[in-house]
Amino acid sequence: MNDIKAWAVNLCAILLVTAVINYLVPKGKVKKICETAFSLIILAVFCLPLFEMKNIDASILNNKFDSLFSEKIDYALAYDESIKSAVMTILDENKIGYTRVEIKSRTENDEYILENVIVYLESTEDEQKATALLSEELKIESGIILAGD
């Protein structure tokens, strides 16, 4: 990021110096020579960062992209664990017995999509109560699957 800032500052400085000298130089052959020289300098300022980027190791860029992708996956896992914890807390507070809770989700276009919340109940008597509680507390209209173990 510092390289980009330095490049932008250099470009602005060269453009400013070019504009000032362009107004100070008299018209004629001298002005054409100065304009040509400064055009070449500006072209060099644009192109130098491109030549420097060829020296950058491609594995560094790949590692950066891989780390960004893995962070997205970590967020999805964190959401899954958060929902699972909330479901277990609701069931524990209302004394509804369960053996395990599973969360089915996916990520698509940087969006987290919750597909199903699967709760394995100890007894089938609490199915309606559990469905009502989870729908009310978590604001999930569909996707709650209750199963006996």
Given this model, what pLDDT does residue 132 score? 84
Instruction: Evaluate whether 89 touches 100 at the Cβ level (below 8 Å).
Output: no
Residue 54 pLDDT grade (very low, low, confident, very high; cuts 50, 70, 90): low
pLDDT tens digits along 84-105: 898 889 888 988 888 888 888 8
Q: Which CATH number fits domain 73-148: 2.60.40, 3.30.300, 1.10.4160, 3.40.50?
A: 3.30.300
pLDDT tens digits along 115-144: 888 888 887 787 888 888 888 888 776 566
Q: How far apart are CA 33 and CA 81, in angstroms?
A: 68
Given this model, what pLDDT does residue 98 score? 85
Instruction: Evaluate whether 145 touches 118 at the Cβ level (below 8 Å).
Output: yes
Query: In which element (H, E) is residue 99 found?
Result: strand 98-108
